[in-house]
Amino acid sequence: MPPKKKQGGEANLAPILSAGTVINCTLIAKDELTITKYLINGGFGRIYKGRMKVKKIDVCLKMELKGSSGLFTEQNYFTRFLTKDKLQKFAGKKFLGLPELVSFGMEKPGENEVDWIRFLVMPYYPESLLNLIETRKDKRLSVGEIKSVVTCLVDALHYIHSNLLSHGDIKAGNIMLVKKGCCEKVVLVDFGIAHWHRVFKDVVVNAAKHNGTCAYTSIDAHEGREGVFRSDLQILAFNIIEWIVGELPWKKDEKVPATVEKQKRELMGSAKKLSALIGSDAAKFVGQLFEMSTSMGYSDLPDFDRLHEMLKKFKIDDVKGVVYTESQSTKPPSRKAKVVKEDGTLNRLEAIVEDEPALKVKRTRQLTKRASQDTSDNLEARHDSKRTKIIVKVVGSDRQLRSTVSESKRLDNERTTSLEVHEKHAERQERSTESASKILNNERTNLLEIREKYAVNAAIRKKK
């Protein structure tokens, strides 16, 4: 039976287990897990880093008291939807940004019944997207990083939504990087407030208004409805805005949820405001996310084919402080970079790189000096080298031409042979058809003769 209600607060958290504590995993991965490090408090439990003894892999271990329902709910979603075979069946060899269930169960480190602890084991990820963003002064992501993260999240939402599961808490803290410092592959975690929609209840509950993380939560949650699939699209859009700008417009008003809701509605309803905030190119994609979410019914699933097409056209123009990495920059390389690439010696050119005429004069002198030092023998050698290259090219072209002619003849012969074989086969078929026809005609004739004889004999018998 599931726990009757959630518990919260530091006093109701599971006791902190020391490094070296051994947990016996008997379900899914039958292995021995050793806790190596205490990481942080989750919403209703403790989070640790651990090491599997047999598999020799690092894992993330989430633990909370048996009587708390938060981890029980998340465990239920993992066992139903996030097993290795189900994820692979959906994605095949393609990367899918969702955590795989490693193991789960109950552990009793103490003597009393209340000491029973529920645990959930998943892969360990070295860094969250929030940690990466916090290391940057402007708190922004680059164009390439945003596109990679959004692509992974859309694929993840496609899978969970197809299983009637909505996440409800998409944010940088719940997005993990597979490789530290790299946003190419990210994983959406924390299904503590996710909903499995076996029945859709489009009902406003006043006590549930503004549920979730206020800065990102959906309009449905602000109104007191249970978050659904359209809600996840809105939450994703709010995150994209923050990653582009570095801060959401309602950041300072988070303690007043009604004000945050009002600002969200205004931004969602004004293409002009959205363009002014994130630029016209990005506003097209984010605006389409808002439009798709508001046009969906309460139980409707997103059109993920359309979403993927939108992603292909997703661009971010150079607006207020958008970060462009070197590989993504639209600016031409500096004059200094070009000079260094030509000559290869930075220290010798640093003094003259700012003075372009002086650079040209120096370059001209170098070329003149080099030309005057060339002897006639050197020039002869250069000409011979050029002649050799030309001859090689001609010979190579001739060989290539011969090869092409030879290949053409070979193909013609193959076609001729194939046609002859086909004609012979057709002749055989025709002969066999004629032979079969003759046999059938003979059989029909014999049968008619037998019938006639039978009829004559029958008539003679009647007369007698």
- Structural domain contains residue 301: yes
CATH number of the domain where residue 30 is located: 3.30.200.20
Helices (H) and strands (E) in the chain, counts: 14, 11
Of 98, 124, 150, which marks where a domain is finished? 124
CATH number of the domain where residue 197 is located: 1.10.510.10
pLDDT score at 112: 58
pLDDT score at 445: 76
pLDDT greater than 60 at residue 327: no
Percent of the chain with pLDDT over 70: 70
Same domain, 40 and 162: no
Percent of the chain with pLDDT over 90: 49
Same domain, 163 and 94: no
- Which whole number is the average pLDDT over 398-404? 60
Of 96, 124, 152, which marks where a domain is finished? 124
- Structural domain contains residue 389: no
The pTM for the full model equals 0.67
pLDDT greater than 50 at residue 453: yes
CB atoms within 10 A of CB 97: 22
Query: Across the strands, what pairs with 25?
Result: 31
- Given a contact cutoff of 8 angstroms between Cβ atoms, the answer to whether 102 and 76 are in contact is no
Domain encompassing residue 435? 428-464
Q: Which residue has the higher pLDDT, 376 or 120?
A: 120
Q: Which residue has the higher pLDDT, 369 or 415?
A: 415
Same domain, 4 and 148: no
Same domain, 3 and 141: no
Same domain, 37 and 161: no
pLDDT score at 335: 41
Strand order in the sheet with 22-25: 22-25, 31-41, 46-52, 58-65, 117-123, 103-107
- Structural domain contains residue 337: no
Same domain, 117 and 129: no
Would you call 282 helix, strand, or coil by DSSP?
Answer: helix
Same domain, 4 and 94: yes
Alpha-carbon gap, residue 179 to 156, rounded angstroms: 18
pLDDT greater than 70 at residue 415: no
pLDDT score at 400: 62
Same domain, 95 and 136: no
Same domain, 144 and 113: no
Confidence of residue 439 (pLDDT cuts 50, 70, 90): confident
Same domain, 180 and 136: yes
Would you call 15 helix, strand, or coil by DSSP?
Answer: coil
Range ranked top by mean pLDDT from 165-174, 374-383, 398-407 = 165-174
Same domain, 170 and 297: yes
Alpha-carbon gap, residue 75 to 79, rounded angstroms: 6
- Structural domain contains residue 21: yes
Number of structural domains the chain divides into: 3
- List the single range of 18-27, 196-205, 250-259 with lowest mean pLDDT: 18-27
- Which whole number is the average pLDDT over 124-129? 96
Q: Which residue has the higher pLDDT, 296 or 421?
A: 296
**49-65 residue pLDDT tens:** 999 998 899 999 999 88
Query: Across the strands, what pairs with 31?
Result: 25
Query: Across the strands, what pairs with 179?
Result: 182
- Structural domain contains residue 373: no
- List the single range of 41-55, 167-181, 337-351 with lowest mean pLDDT: 337-351
pLDDT score at 108: 76
Range ranked top by mean pLDDT from 22-31, 344-353, 373-382 = 22-31
pLDDT score at 49: 95
Distance of CA 129 to the CA centre of its chain: 15
Nearest 5°: CA angle at 153, between 255 and 323?
A: 75
| DSSP per position, 371-405 | HHH--HHHHHHHHHHHHHHHHHHHHHHHHHHHHHH
**223-235 residue pLDDT tens:** 999 999 999 999 9
Same domain, 70 and 190: no
- Structural domain contains residue 69: yes
Instruction: Kindly report the average pLDDT of the chain as a whole number.
Output: 79
pLDDT score at 254: 92
- Which whole number is the average pLDDT over 17-38? 87
Range ranked top by mean pLDDT from 259-273, 330-344, 448-462 = 259-273
pLDDT score at 402: 63
- Structural domain contains residue 242: yes
75, 377, 378, 392, 402 from 389: Cα distances, Å: 70, 18, 17, 5, 20
Would you call 124 helix, strand, or coil by DSSP?
Answer: coil
- Structural domain contains residue 229: yes
pLDDT greater than 90 at residue 292: yes
* Tokens 């011969």 found at: 402
Of 60, 90, 124, which marks where a domain is finished? 124
pLDDT score at 412: 67
pLDDT greater than 80 at residue 19: yes
